[in-house]
Chains A and B, each alone.
Chain A
Amino acid sequence: MGEKLRIWTAVKHGLDVNLTRADRTTGLVRVESAPRKTSDFDKNAVEEAVRVRERLGGVVTAISVGGPAAREALREAIAIGADEAILVTGDRWAEWDTRAVARLLAAATRKLGGFDLFLLGEGSTDHFAGLVGPRLAGELRCAGIAYARRLTAAAEGVVVEKDLEKEVEVVRAAYPVVVSVGQEINTPRIPTFMANLKASKKEVRVLGPPDLDVPAEALAPVVVVERVAVPEIPRKQQTIAGTTPDEIAARLRDALRGEGVLP
């Protein structure tokens, strides 16, 4: 690292999965018009970035790749405590896939002088592919650590507890390193009224692919979403009622016996 720790954090303004609805007749989700919000795990990443700065000093740069509304995610990042905000956008942002996003993030870090620690969510709430962090590390040929549940940063590098399915792996890496975090790493602070007010006045630096020397062809989607549908699983939706808990219990037991699912 140089004199000051350079901490980057990426935030996605993704679809709000709790508010997306499927069309009743077709079962298709209209993704274009669905409400958006800041992806949950990215807030954990911003919080962790701010905590590292609070301990070690440095600068936290929040970056979002997306449309004009992604300013909202950057505003939230600033309110949590990021120092500066960058929006990477372009006419065709809506078709940028995880490859395009990772390439733009990589290009931005190269263009703007590099980083020591790059923190982002291990998956976005809407797409949940878990690819952008590892792709970014691969693209930059630098250390990558995904599924971080605990992070200890020092002047020269990080120690991360990585949450695997059945194990916890403790991993050490020197800077620069890309770390993808899960929800369990911290509880993001709720910004104060003043922090929110200040954040809404903060200037956002807007960059397009040409500013980052990324040609349009390099961003053409290689994975295209053709349709998003909510699968309809038929359920009986039978109400079991009765005058006493025992009566209800006996009725349910009989129903389950009828289904053949009791031992």
Chain B
Amino acid sequence: MSDERLLCVSEEPEVAVALVRLARSLTGPGTGRVVAVVLPGSAPDAAERLAAAGADEVRPVDGPALTDPHVVADLLAEIVAAVSPSVLLVGSTKRGREAAGHLAGVLDLPATTGVTGLRLDADGIRVDREALSGNAVAVERIVRRPAIVAMMPGFSAPPAAPSPSPGRVRQPPRATAPLTERTELRPKAGGQLEIEKADRIVTIGRGLRKKEDLPIVEALARALGAEVGCTRPLAAEAGWLTDDHWIGLTGHRVHPALYVAVGVSGAVQHLVGMRSSRVVVAINKDPNAPIFAQADYRITGDLYQIVPALTKALGG
């Protein structure tokens, strides 16, 4: 427990709530101070939800939604000056990392991203973060406060602990001129699937010879009540599946109860996305494929024979 001030902000409502819960558990109930920024364009109940999660103070910012990192950094710099937190917690989303970096440059603050664990020690702030493309976990010590810590979305947040009398401070918008201009915002193709929430996933890799063969894998997924995932080449290079199916370092991190990797070699950048699956099945024709070292059940064989047989065995 510590008597520190922690500032939380994220453009993702769920992440923002998780950050506040984490901050509250770090200070302990009744000690320190947890302040949460409500970004412009948030849902009407955002401030309430942050207070219920444990914020002592919410700071709603008026005005239109902010996208330019320079404008976001300028606003956050002002709030940091007003609140003087020891840690600014943000989400390690793309926008979160970008804003964190920009602000860190403006204020010359220490910053780290992709964090899964955070401790406020007397000799510094300690974080666990992914390292070596997710191959490893690094422990980093931040030697100076304030610091910016970007938490990996989906990190395990402690339960909510509402503050007895949360305060509300209106944060006026700033008149900073943006340095970039948004001309368009469009949803990505696909984009509806939330594979990070799936309970069962069948992932297909380059072992699939052509797009027309996808139904073989989709049939297995149906029989298992699973979503279809894929490796980077299938989404980014071949375009056979949209980005929302992409699992790995540059795709999605998933943690299903069952993960079936079909024709996937098991590159480190892929493994980082699926490592926290509970039961892993690998089907690969190469007995030396690295994925086998990460599997509970290993089948060496041709996916074109095994997958249809498995679908049938499951009654599909």
Contacts and interface: CB of A to CB of B under 8 A. Distances in A.
B252 to A, nearest CB: 9
B298 A182 contact: no
A167 interface: yes
Given A130-B97, A141-B70, A167 B111 contact: no
**Most chain A CB within a 10 A radius of its CB, from B104, B131, B147:** B131
A249 B103 CA distance: 54
Contacts of B185: 167-170
Given A166-B188, A228-B131, 10 more contacts: A129-B97, A134-B99, A138-B103, A169-B67, A177-B179, A223-B143, A229-B138, A231-B136, A237-B292, A246-B312
A164 B95 contact: yes
Given A147-B94, A164-B94, A170-B185, A222 B300 contact: no
B28 interface: no
Interface stretch (B33-41, B43-51, B156-164, B302-310): B302-310
A131 interface: yes
A138 B179 contact: no
B295 to A, nearest CB: 6
B251 to A, nearest CB: 10
Interface in A226-244: 226-231, 233, 235-241, 244
Contact of B181 (A135, A172, A227): A172
A227 B188 CA distance: 38
Interface of A: 15, 17-18, 20, 22, 29, 97-99, 102, 106, 125-147, 159, 163-173, 177, 182-184, 221-231, 233, 235-241, 244-246, 248-250, 252-253, 255-256, 259, 261-263
A10 to B, nearest CB: 14
B114 A249 contact: no
A99 B108 contact: yes
Contact of B106 (A128, A138, A240): A138
B210 interface: no
A61 to B, nearest CB: 20
B102 to A, nearest CB: 4
A159 B183 contact: yes
A246 B307 CA distance: 10
Contacts of B301: 245, 248
B9 interface: no
B111 A17 contact: no
**Most chain A CB within a 10 A radius of its CB, from B132, B293, B299:** B132
Contacts of B297: 236, 238, 240, 252, 255-256
In the A-B complex, the 8 residue pairs with the smallest Cβ-Cβ separation, listed nearest first, are A138-B105, A134-B101, A222-B110, A245-B309, A143-B179, A263-B225, A139-B105, A249-B309
Given A147-B94, A169-B184, A246-B313, A131 B296 contact: no
Contact of B140 (A140, A173, A224, A249): A224
Given A144-B98, A182-B250, A236 B133 contact: no
A242 to B, nearest CB: 9
A253 B101 contact: no
Interface residues of B, number: 87
B139 to A, nearest CB: 5
Contacts of A250: 313
Interface string B134-156: 11111111111001000000000
B180 interface: yes
Contacts of B236: 183-184
Interface stretch (B19-27, B211-219, B276-284): B276-284
Given A135-B104, A164-B95, A256 B279 contact: yes
Nearest to A124: B133
Contacts of A246: 309, 312-313
A129 B112 contact: yes
B16 to A, nearest CB: 15
B93 interface: yes
Nearest to A126: B132
Nearest to A224: B141
A164 B94 CA distance: 6
5 contacts: A20-B136, A131-B97, A140-B105, A223-B141, A245-B309
